[in-house]
């Protein structure tokens, strides 16, 4: 007795159907992957922290470079931190395309300034 006699054979039509369904699933996944890669690699707003300086006990400045798509309204967030790592000042501002020099008022002397990033209505994750 052969295996074909015992278990039967796979019909050619069924094999083509399985391969066709697998090809559709792979194509859909590849399309989704390409779309996700494109969306996440081309943000509406992108920011880069260029530096900071502490002016006095009550102020610090931050220099932020921002790249905006045309017509996008964004918001950026910078924070001033003290030596004990507590936040001593925070500023949310509407950036313009290019370099932005902003002053953060602080409750006591800051030792560092950080950029949390910029967001837009279509881009909730800071960049």
User: What CATH number has the domain bearing residue 62?
Assistant: 2.60.40
Residue 96 within a domain: yes
Residue 18 in domain:
yes
Helical residues (DSSP H) of the chain, grouped into ranges: 3-7, 12-41
**Residue 13's domain spans which residues?**
3-41
Largest CA distance in the chain: 93
What percent of the chain has a predicted confidence (pLDDT) above 90?
67
Q: Which of 45, 64, 41, 69 has the alpha carbon at shortest distance from 123?
A: 45
For the residues 100-104, what does the mean pLDDT come to?
96
The reply to whether 95 and 111 lie within a common domain is yes
- Whether 126 is covered by a domain: the verdict is no
The answer on 66 and 17 residing in a single domain is no
Per-residue pLDDT of 28-87, as tens digits, reads: 999 999 999 988 788 888 899 999 999 999 999 999 999 988 888 999 999 999 999 999
Are residue 10 and residue 60 in the same domain, yes or no? Answer: no
- The answer to whether position 92 is within a domain reads yes
- If asked whether residues 103 and 49 sit together in one domain, one would say yes
Q: What is the reported pLDDT for 79?
A: 96
């Amino acid at each position: 007795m052969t295996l074909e006699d015992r278990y039967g054979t796979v019909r050619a039509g069924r094999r083509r159907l399985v391969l066709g369904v697998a090809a559709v699933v792979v194509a859909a996944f590849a399309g989704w992957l390409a779309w996700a890669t494109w969306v996440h690699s081309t943000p509406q707003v992108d920011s880069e922290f260029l530096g900071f300086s502490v002016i006095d006990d009550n102020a610090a400045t931050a220099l932020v470079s921002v790249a905006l798509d045309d017509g996008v309204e964004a918001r950026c967030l910078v924070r001033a931190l003290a030596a004990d790592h507590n936040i001593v000042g925070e500023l949310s501002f509407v950036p313009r395309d290019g370099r932005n020099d902003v002053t953060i008022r602080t409750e006591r002397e800051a030792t560092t300034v950080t950029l949390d990033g910029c967001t837009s209505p279509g881009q909730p994750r800071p960049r």
